[in-house]
Amino acid sequence: MWRGFTLQQFANQCYGNEYDLGKGRQMPVHYGSNELNYLTVSSPIATQVPQAVGAAYGLKMDKKDACAVTYFGDGGTSEGDFHAGMNFAAVLGAPVLFICRNNGWAISTPTSEQFRSDGVAIKGQAYGVRSIRVDGNDALAVYFAVKNARKMAVEEFRPILIEALTYRVGHHSTSDDSSKYRSVDEIEYWRTRRDPVARLRMFLQSNRWWDDENEDLLRQDLRTQMMSVLHNAESKKKPGLSNLFEDVYDVIPQNLKEQEQETQAIVGKYPKDYPSDVPLD
């Protein structure tokens, strides 16, 4: 949203309609925008880390006044791609920010069962990457850490690792029940005593930059906007079936053409077994 991705675009992606920039091919909440300069979110853990290093190295070769940024959780640091990416970044002097959200849990696996190191920041130091640990529940601390890290990455052509310590108060997904592997009291403590949004709101209110009236108006306005964009996204058609076979090859090979023809024929023969809002063209 900060870069300019609109609420309607978020809704279009979640519904996978004809206005979804990903053409309905991605899971919900896997956004991306070439115009706004960020890659599509990818589900496989940590695959984005070496990709970000490659993008950063390209920026360095083109002498761009910019850096790449990649985000991952503590579980991502247990993947080989994390270690490969960190080493490549250090050796190549790639201007990239590695931002790790260490929330203590990789789904149901706590950090204590993932590694014996003192968190994640020390892993960056082991690869020769300048690293810092920051309170991930302090919005201002994160802002200034990232701002300074970006300056170093761009001006000095070096990777920076930021470990933001936080906590996941919600379930990992709708199929996850986190009360099975951690106590309700622990979750409640972090939700009520360490909530970063409430913390920032108290800071703003203490400086008289915000109040309950503005809070209520903002929430009402956003709720109205959300209901509108969701209704609009739901009413739009899905991308055409032919989109399944495009955007990989410059010239579609014969085997994919045959697969498309076969798919069109099957859907045409059994229309009741396929969504009616997906055009066949």
- Residues recognised as catalytic: 168, 172, 181
Q: Which residue type, as a one-letter code, is found at position 57? A: Y
Find, among 84, 263, 74, the residue nearest to 159 by Cα. 84
Q: Which helix (H) or strand (E) holds 51?
A: helix 48-61
The residue type of 44 is: P
Residue showing tokens 């990709």 = 51
Tokens of 98: 């590695």
Tokens of 232: 């609009």
User: If you write DSSP's letter for every residue of 190-242 in order, what string do you get?
Assistant: HHHHS-HHHHHHHHHHHTTS--HHHHHHHHHHHHHHHHHHHHHHHHSPPPPGG
Nearest CA to 128 among 94, 165, 172?
94
Residue from 52, 105, 41 nearest 78 by CA: 105
CA dihedral 135, 136, 137, 138 (to 10 degrees): 60
CB-neighbour burial class of residue 219 (10 A; exposed 0-12, middle 13-18, buried 19+): exposed
Neighbours of 113 (CB within 10 A): 10
Token couple for 209: 């930059």
